Amino acid sequence: MGYSVLSARDATDALAIVSEQHVDLVLADIKMPGINGLELVRQVHEFAPDLPCIVVTGYGSAEHSVEALRAGAFWYLEKPFEQGHLDVVRRLVEQAIEVGRLKTENRILQSQLQAKYRFSNIVGNSAALRNVLDIVSKVADADSTVLVTGESGTGKELIARAIHFNSRRAGRMFVTVNCGAIPEHLLESELFGHVRGAFTNAVNHREGRFTLANEGTIFLDEIGDMSPSLQVKLLRVLQDGTFEPVGSSHSMTVDVRVIAATNQNLEEAIRERRFREDLYFRLNVIPIEVPPLRERPDDIPVLVSHFLEVASQEQGGTVEDISQEALELLCAHSWPGNVREIENLMERLVILGSGGEIQAKDLPPPFHQPAAQRPSAPVIPPSGLSFRDTVDDFEANLIRQALEQTQWNKNRAAQLLRMNRTTLLEKIKKKGLDQPER
Ligand SMILES: Nc1ncnc2c1ncn2[C@@H]1O[C@H](COP(=O)(O)OP(=O)(O)O)[C@@H](O)[C@H]1O
Ligand SMILES: [Mg+2]
């Protein structure tokens, strides 16, 4: 069949060969002098767990075939062979080798993924980030539900992956579902699957993401966008691991760790009755809040050099340097897109750059504009001033400006001031700054 074959007199001989060189398949008889074929399979798998073994059993000995599979054989072949069986052997050998190859490949990919999501690849020196990583390393191996909050681009998904790949579930799937990106009527079947005929277009049975994530981790991104009726179903999975696929009355049980993320303020969503409080408490067992980059400027220089290095490597060039002046401009930036914005900008600079040190003039225009004029603090007159009143006036002024600029759209005003919407609403009420009645 075109394979090169090594033969061994007995199991001991076979083990010696397998431990010394790479083989793709073991084909072994059961009855051999010394160690038998089943024991050989077990011993081979101790040091080569992916190596497929096919065991040759006596004709009609059903017991032996069951034992062979139990011992970890890929499959069994009954002897005596007949000429007509050669096709079967050929297919079996091809399949066994293919499965072994896939297993090895999968193991390599897994370990690459695990290396990629090692904590050391989460870059940052700030106390805020260290604190986050400290929690992450503590919760990784617990099975508890984690809720990661933070603005877009702060690293929520990266953190979720780091938790998974540092947990005992690392060898299983990390499945992500973006609850905000999937239309509501499809999300349920995406999460829980559906049976054939559950709805128009449900031509076939389909497994949901929860089934795919069994024994692994599911990452529910933008959980704040989930509809209240689905929230009820999710709550049930969190409580007892059961759900019903769309159109089915049979419950399924899974063992899945849930990590949820949102850039919304869920407490506010609860007050507005968009989010169930019971689900919130169930999700928020371990809260992890990732601060926006502007609140941890210490991380900017290390992230800049990290992404310069990554982008240079991807482009196959030498790592580019950056001038002090350019770095200062980067550090003064407010990074509304957070880490993702740094990542994208560095990639762009490396691709467009001429290979030398990155200069201030290479940065896009927004970086050259002078930082917004900060209103200067009032000078204290000799007679002194009321700290509270002065601060109140200052705040009222900023809030009024933000409201005017956004035509009293409080969501956008809150964004403009990088303030929590609830806090803004409270302040507006307290200061009587609501939109003048018309
Ligand atoms: N501390 C960090 N160190 C290295 N890369 C980071 C860090 N934080 C975020 N990133 C990268 O920035 C990008 C955005 O992060 P992501 O986890 O997708 O953010 P979010 O889910 O909060 O929108 C990703 O490519 C991620 O790998
Ligand atoms: Mg994200």
Q: What is the pLDDT of residues 209-240, one digit of tens each?
A: 999 999 999 999 999 999 999 999 999 999 99
Atom of ligand 1 nearest to the CA of 160: 17
Are residues 221 and 261 in contact, defined by beta-carbon separation less than 8 angstroms? Answer: yes
88 pLDDT band, cuts 50/70/90, is: confident
- Whether the pLDDT of residue 438 is over 80: the answer is no
Pocket probe mutation, ligand 1, options 152, 219, 340, 341, max atoms within 8 Å of Cβ: 340
Q: Which whole-number Å values give the CA distances from 394 to 374, 378, 381, 410, in the listed order?
A: 12, 9, 17, 19
| pLDDT value of position 236 | 96
Burial of 27-46, coded b for 16+ CB within 10 Å and e otherwise, reads: bbbbebeebbbbebbebbbe
Q: Of 134, 158, 262, 347, which is best to mutate to test ligand 1, by the most ligand atoms within 8 angstroms of its C-beta?
A: 158
Stretch 63-86: mean pLDDT: 86
What is the arrangement of strands in the sheet containing 26-29, beginning at the earlier edge strand?
A: 26-29, 53-58, 75-79
Q: Which residue has the higher pLDDT, 112 or 322?
A: 322
In the numeric block, which tokens belong to residue 338? 């957070």
Q: Percent of the chain, pLDDT > 70?
A: 97
pLDDT for the residue numbered 369: 67
As annotated, the residues of the chain forming the CATH 1.10.10 domain(s) are 387-431
* Band of pLDDT at residue 437, cut at 50, 70 and 90: low
The neighbour count for residue 169, using CB atoms within 10 Å, is 21
* CB-based pocket (< 6 A), ligand 1: 122-124, 150, 152-158, 306, 339-340, 343
* Residue range 120-291, CATH number: 3.40.50.300
Architecture of domain 11-113: 3-Layer(aba) Sandwich (3.40)
- Bridge-based pairing of strands 26-29 and 174-178 is unpaired
How many DSSP H helices and E strands does the chain contain?
17, 12
Question: What is the pTM for the complete model shown?
Answer: 0.71
**pLDDT surpassing 70 at residue 37:** yes
Q: How far apart are CA 283 and CA 275, in angstroms?
A: 12
Query: Is 60's pLDDT higher than 90?
Result: no
Instruction: Give the model's pLDDT for residue 434.
Output: 79
Lowest mean pLDDT among 102-116, 171-185, 219-233: 102-116
Q: How many residues are listed for the chain in this entry? A: 438
Task: Please name the helix (run of DSSP H) or strand (run of DSSP E) that holds residue 79, with its range, or none.
Answer: strand 75-79
Q: In angstroms, how far is CA 39 from the centroid of its own chain?
A: 40
Quick one: which of 366, 349, 269 has its CA closest to 312? 349
Average of per-residue pLDDT across 393-410: 87
Please identify every residue whose CB atom is under 5 Å from ligand 2, which is an ion. 157
**In the chain, which residues fall in CATH 1.10.8.60?**
295-367
Q: Which residue ranges does the chain devote to CATH 3.40.50.2300?
A: 11-113
Write down the mean pLDDT value for the chain.
90
**Is pLDDT at 375 greater than 70 in this prediction?**
no
pLDDT surpassing 60 at residue 341:
yes
Which pLDDT does position 376 carry in this prediction?
54
Q: Which CATH number fits domain 387-431: 1.10.10, 3.10.290, 1.10.3470, 1.20.1270?
A: 1.10.10
Contacts of 128 (CB under 8 A, 6+ apart): 291, 295, 296
pLDDT at residue 431 in the model = 85
Q: Give pLDDT tens digits for 255-288.
A: 999 999 999 999 999 999 999 999 999 999 999 9
Which pLDDT score is estimated for 122? Answer: 93
pLDDT surpassing 50 at residue 373: no
Instruction: Give the pLDDT of residue 383.
Output: 81
Structural tokens at position 430: 């307290």
- Band (85; pLDDT cuts 50, 70, 90): confident
**CATH code assigned to 295-367:** 1.10.8.60
pLDDT tens-digit readout, 317-335: 777 789 999 999 999 899 9
pLDDT of residue 374: 44
Higher pLDDT, 414 or 372: 414
Task: Write out the residue limits of the CATH 3.40.50.300 domain(s) in the chain.
Answer: 120-291
Quick one: pLDDT band at residue 91, thresholds 50, 70, 90?
very high
Rounded to whole angstroms, how far apart are CA atoms 113 and 171? 10
